[in-house]
Amino acid sequence: MHELLRSYGRTLTGVFITLTAFWMLIMILLPQAFMIEHSLWWIDRDDQLGMRIDRAYSDMGLLEFDLGQADTPEGKADIQERIDGLKADIAAMEAEETAPPKHYGFDNYTKMSALHFEIFLKSIGYSLAVTILALIVCYPIAFTIAKLSTPNKAALLMLGLIVPYAINELLRVYAWLMILDYQGVINSLLAWLGLVSFEDKSWVPFLEYSGSVFVALIYAYVLFMIFPIYNTVETLDRNQLEASEDLGAGVIRTHLRVVIPHAKPGIAVGCIMTFMLSVGSYSVPQIMTRGKSGDWFSQLIYRQFFESQNWNSGAAYSFSLVLVCLGFILIMMKVFKVGIRDIAK
C-alpha cells in the first residue's frame, strides 16, 4: 500500500484501488451475493389457485342471484354476509396470484431430486477422475519440458502445446467430436482395417462412453495443469536431480522425494484449476455427449436457469458447485501442505 503510494503517487494509486474494488464488487461479490440470495428463497405458487378463483366467482354469481330471490330481510342479510366473505376471499386469492408469497429457507438445497443429486455426485466424481488423469498425463510432460530438454527444444515444445490454444475452445472440442464420432476418424480407420463396418453400424460408439468427455476435458484443460507444474519444476536446481541419482536413488524415488515435494504448489494449483474448470464445464459435455451418456451438473444448472426459468434452484445448484470448489481448494491445501501464499505465486 505504502509502496504503491510511493511508486505511483496519490491519484494513480486511488485509480488502481478504485478499479480493483469496482472489479471485486461488480464482477465477484455482487453476482455471488445475488446467487446466494436467490438460492435462499422460493415462491410457493399454488397451481389450483386460478381454478379456485374462478369457482369463487361463479359461487358469487349464484349468491347474487339468490340475493335477488330472497324474500325475508333476515335471509337477505345472511346472503349478503356470505357474499362479502367470498369477496374478501377472492381479493386475498387474487393478491396471492399477482404476488405469490416468498419463503426463505434452505429448501432449494435440500429438495434437490434424487436424480439431480446423483448427477451432482457423478459430476464431482468425473471431475476428480479428469483431474487425476490430467495430472498423470501432464506431470511427465511438464517435467520433460522443464528438465530433460535443451532450452531451445523446451521453447519449441511449449509453443507446440500453446498453438492449439489459439483456436477457440469449441472448435477444439468439435475436433474431438470428429475424431470419436460414429463415422469419425478412428472408426474410419478401424473400418479401413476391416474391424468395424459402417453398413451394419458395428462402429465403436466412443461418444456414448463418458471416457470421451474425459478425453476432451483433459485436452481442453491440459495447459492449466502443465503450466503451473512446469513453472515449479523449472525452478528446481538440476544438481538436485543429479545429487539424488549420485546417491543411488532411482527415477521413481527421485521424483517422490525430490521433484514432487518441490513441485507441490504447482501440482496443487494445476489440480485446482483443472477440477474447477471440469466441474463447471458446460460446452464440453454438451458437445461430446450430445445428450447420449447422461447430463453433467453444469448442464442441469443451465436448464434450471434457461429452460425451467427456475432461477432459485438454479442459484442453489450453482452455489453448491461453488462450495464444492472451495472445499476442493481447502482439501488440496491441506493435502499438499501449501498455503495461499504458495498458490498465489
Where is 126: in which H helix or E strand? helix 114-143
Give the residue with the Cβ less far from another protein, 98 or 239: 239
Residue 215 CB, shortest distance to another protein, in Å, is 35
Q: Which residues contact 267 (CB under 8 A, 6 or more apart)?
A: 135, 139, 228, 229, 232, 260, 336
Site for another protein in 144-163 (CB under 8 A): none
Burial of residue 15 (CB within 10 Å: 0-12, 13-18, 19+) is exposed
Q: Rounded to the nearest whole angstrom, what is the least distance from the CB of residue 312 to another protein in the complex? A: 49
Paired strand residues for 41: 104
By rule CB under 8 A, what count of residues binds another protein?
A: 17
Nearest distance from C-beta of residue 242 to another protein, angstroms: 6
Closest CA to 124 of 328, 329, 336, 333: 328
Beta bridge partners of 42: 103
Q: Which is nearer to another protein, 55 or 253 (CB)?
A: 253
Partners of 104 in the beta sheet?
A: 41
**For another protein, which stretch binds (CB under 8 A), given 80-88, 113-121, 200-208, 242-250?**
242-250
Does residue number 237 form part of the binding site for another protein (CB under 8 A)?
yes
Residues 245-264 that bind another protein (CB under 8 A): 245-250, 253, 257-258, 261-262
Rg (CA), the chain: 31
Taking the complex as a whole, the smallest distance from the CB of residue 257 to another protein amounts, in Å, to 7
Q: Which of 243, 323, 330, 331: binder of another protein (CB under 8 A)? A: 243
Interacting residue with another protein among 21, 240, 290, 326 (CB under 8 A):
240
Considering the rule CB under 8 A, would residue 292 count as an interface residue with another protein?
A: no
Half-sphere exposure of 109 (CA within 13 A, CB side): 14
Who's near 138: CB < 8 A, 6+ residues apart? 222, 225, 226, 229, 270
C-beta of 265: minimal distance to another protein in Å?
Answer: 12
**CA geometry: angle at 338 spanning 278 and 249, to 5°?**
95
> Would you say 59 or 234 has its CB closer to another protein?
234
For residue 256, the minimal CB distance to another protein (Å) is: 11
CB of 263 to another protein, least distance (A): 11
Binding-site ranges for another protein (CB under 8 A): 237, 239-240, 242-250, 253, 257-258, 261-262
